[in-house]
């Protein structure tokens, strides 16, 4: 029900939503392999964008940035308290933030910054806090609503992705070769 409720405000406020830093997709199945692009719709009060940092919420695994011409990439790695196995190899550290530096991206243009990742297994909303740095000033897209997923009235909301439940039979049918389906 919540999924239906949140579509209305998004459609009505589409212009405003697109003006922020938002994901190009609104939802994805929990636990799935996913790639999404963070869309940067404007600069900082007219100033050109020179860096974008996307912070990955807890539970996101194996995040990989897509290279972009004219932008360098930096990844922040953190040691995991609980290592896990991926493709038969233990994973002991995780990418927790990705920064692109370059441009400058003028305020009159928009651009997209893409990341591939495995999503957390639990359904529900997840929020990506994005720091946008400009030639002059910055926008910290990091505010999360106290409850629910409506970002109406929030000046600098974090980017939202709704993780949809995966039904038990569908989950059972998924074998490892399906993992890389996008």
The least distance separating Cu ion from the CB of residue 46, rounded to whole angstroms, comes to: 12
Is residue 61 part of the contact set for Cu ion (CB under 5 A)? no
Q: For Cu ion, which stretch binds (CB under 5 A), given 16-24, 68-76, 98-106, 150-158?
A: 16-24
**Residue 133 contacts Cu ion per CB under 5 A:** no
**Listed ranges 17-25, 27-35, 99-107, 114-122: which one lies at the site for Cu ion (CB under 5 A):** 17-25
**Alpha carbon of 88 to those of 24, 30, 64, 121, 175: distances in Å?**
32, 22, 19, 19, 15
- The torsion angles phi and psi of 172, rounded to 5 degrees, stand at -70, -35
Q: How far is CA 156 from CA 23, 87, 172, in A?
A: 14, 38, 39
> Using the rule CB under 5 A, is 20 a contact of Cu ion?
yes
Minimum Å gap between C-beta 41 and Cu ion is 6
Beta bridge partners of 125: 162
Figure out which of the listed residues 3, 7, 12, 19 binds Cu ion, where binding follows CB under 5 A.
19
Residues 144-163 that bind Cu ion (CB under 5 A): none
Residue 55 C-beta: closest distance to Cu ion, Å? 18
CA distance 17 to 13: 6
- How far apart (Å, rounded) are the C-alpha atoms in residues 33 and 17? 25
Q: For residues 118 and 33, is the Cβ–Cβ distance under 8 A?
A: yes
Site string (160-179) toward Cu ion, x via CB under 5 A: --------------------
Binding site for Cu ion (CB under 5 A): 19-20
């Amino acid at each position: 029900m919540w999924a239906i409720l949140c579509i209305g405000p998004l459609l009505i406020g589409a212009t405003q939503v697109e003006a922020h830093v938002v994901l190009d997709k609104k939802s994805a199945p929990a636990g799935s392999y996913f790639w999404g692009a963070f869309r940067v719709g404007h600069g900082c009060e007219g100033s050109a964008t020179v860096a974008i940092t996307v912070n990955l919420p807890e539970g996101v695994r194996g995040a990989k940035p897509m290279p972009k011409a004219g932008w360098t990439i930096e990844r922040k790695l953190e040691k995991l308290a609980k290592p896990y196995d991926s493709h038969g190899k233990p994973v002991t550290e995780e990418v927790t933030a990705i920064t692109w530096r370059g441009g400058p991206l003028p305020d009159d243009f928009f651009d997209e910054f893409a990341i591939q990742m495995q999503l957390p297994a639990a359904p529900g909303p997840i929020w990506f806090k994005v720091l946008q740095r400009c030639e002059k000033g910055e926008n910290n897209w990091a505010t999360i609503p106290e409850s629910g997923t409506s970002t109406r009235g929030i000046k600098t909301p974090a980017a939202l992705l709704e993780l949809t439940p995966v039904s038990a039979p569908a989950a059972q049918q998924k074998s490892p070769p399906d993992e890389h389906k996008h």
